[in-house]
Amino acid sequence: MFRPSRSALLMATVTLAAGLVATPGAAYAADTTTTTTTTLSGVEMAAALKTVATTSTAAAEGGWKATMSAVRGPATISTSYVVDPGRGIVVDQSDFGSGPTTEYAAAGKGKYTYMAFSKNFRAVVRMMGRPTVRHMFQPQPTLKLEDHVEATGPTFAKVLTEDVAYAGTKTVHDNGSADYKYSDDDGTTFTMQVGPAGTLAEVLVGSDGLSVTLTYAYGVPQATLPTAISEKVWDQGMAYLAMRAAVKHVASEAAADTSRTAQGRTVKVAALRKIVRSWATATNNNNRAGLKMIKVKDISRGVRVYATNPWTHETVSYTVKASGRKAVVKSG
């Protein structure tokens, strides 16, 4: 059964960048001139809606779109869910009042997650010179469109066949459209509006001050994937975003470690170099991207610790040199 609280959150995770051409049979326009209303038992309601689900699923083979709006008092949620089987793409859109967020799924490729809400993500793409990028791509070659839609979308089977065996009414209009209406055990009312072709057109849900409208269209969507950076590149960007601090940390901590190890004796250059390289290796191994970002080069009486950002070409460098009983750090 389609429950507003569950399905609203299910749909409200992603964005739409697509157009949809509705098929003629998808339209719903209730004819209020003449109607015929009959009472249905729970079994009859379930059987009737199962037929609608079968017809709707067949009509949606070329693609479909579900648009939802939910209102409770001043709060409004709007979402849309587009399925483009030809391109193997699902595109969601959700807006909780602060602007749309987006998620895409591409069969055989993976998922595109909206990340622009993250201050770090925005800083990373600015650093890369790609400030308009809003998504991160996570590869998932095994992703199947049908499985993804079943798990995340308001499919006809979910809406029309799950927990719908409640007594209610069927109202048929002169143009062939029909309304199926019932209330569940919680007192939530459902109205399934079916078009003349027998396909689901709209679902109206009412419950304790909450009003939900779910509208369907059938046709061929034009879904496109967004520009994105991969998860690996994102991890690399995060490492280089912290490059300045990381290089300084290695130089400073290694110098302090070297001075402690000398225990008041003269610092040996060989020992200093070994300790600095150990700190650099540990720091490099600690970044998720697996980057050997921090490098160490031997110089007179010590080493140079440095890193270069591949996007900005900025280099951060410190020297660590033996100076009597201490290791001394200098920038440059």
In a domain, 149, yes or no: yes
Q: What is the pTM of this model?
A: 0.78
Choose the final residue of a domain: 164, 193, 228: 228
Pair of tokens at residue 162: 């799950």
* Enclosing domain of residue 326: 242-331
Q: How far apart are CA 108 and CA 298, in angstroms?
A: 48
pLDDT of residue 100: 84
Angle between helices 269-285 and 243-262 (to 10 degrees): 140
Judge if 182 and 91 occupy the same domain: yes
In a domain, 115, yes or no: yes
Judge if 106 and 206 occupy the same domain: yes
pLDDT of residue 97: 78
Judge if 247 and 223 occupy the same domain: no
What residues contact residue 151 under an 8 Å CB cut-off, 6+ apart? none
The rounded Cα 211 to chain-centroid distance in angstroms is: 26
Q: How far apart are CA 23 and CA 40, in angstroms?
A: 29
- CATH of residue 95's domain is 2.50.20
In a domain, 235, yes or no: no
Angle between helices 119-127 and 231-241 (to 10 degrees): 90
In a domain, 298, yes or no: yes
Residues of the chain falling short of pLDDT 50 = 1-26
Judge if 284 and 210 occupy the same domain: no
In a domain, 233, yes or no: no
pLDDT of residue 10: 33
CA distances 70 to 6, 92, 214, Å, are 12, 16, 9
Judge if 85 and 130 occupy the same domain: yes
In a domain, 20, yes or no: yes
Judge if 194 and 249 occupy the same domain: no
Judge if 224 and 251 occupy the same domain: no
In a domain, 301, yes or no: yes
Judge if 173 and 278 occupy the same domain: no
In a domain, 303, yes or no: yes
The model's pLDDT over 240-292, given as tens digits with 9 standing for 90+, comes to 999 999 999 999 999 999 999 999 999 999 999 999 999 999 999 998 888 99
Q: How far apart are CA 8 and CA 205, in angstroms?
A: 11
The alpha carbons of the chain give a radius of gyration, in whole angstroms, of 30
pLDDT of residue 221: 77
pLDDT of residue 27: 52
Judge if 219 and 301 occupy the same domain: no
Per the structure, how many domains does the chain have?
Answer: 2
Choose the final residue of a domain: 162, 195, 228: 228
Which is nearest to 207 in space by CA: 1, 4, 68?
4
Judge if 287 and 195 occupy the same domain: no
Residue where the block lists tokens 């191994």:
285
Conformational region of residue 107, where left means phi above 0, alpha means psi within -120 to 50, and beta covers everything else: beta
**Full DSSP string of 166-227:** --EEEEEETTS-EEEEEE-TTS-EEEEEE-TTS-EEEEEEEETTEEEEEEEEEEEE---PPP
Judge if 215 and 260 occupy the same domain: no
Judge if 177 and 40 occupy the same domain: yes
Choose the final residue of a domain: 183, 206, 228: 228
Tell me the three state secondary structure of residue 305: strand
> Residue length, the chain?
332
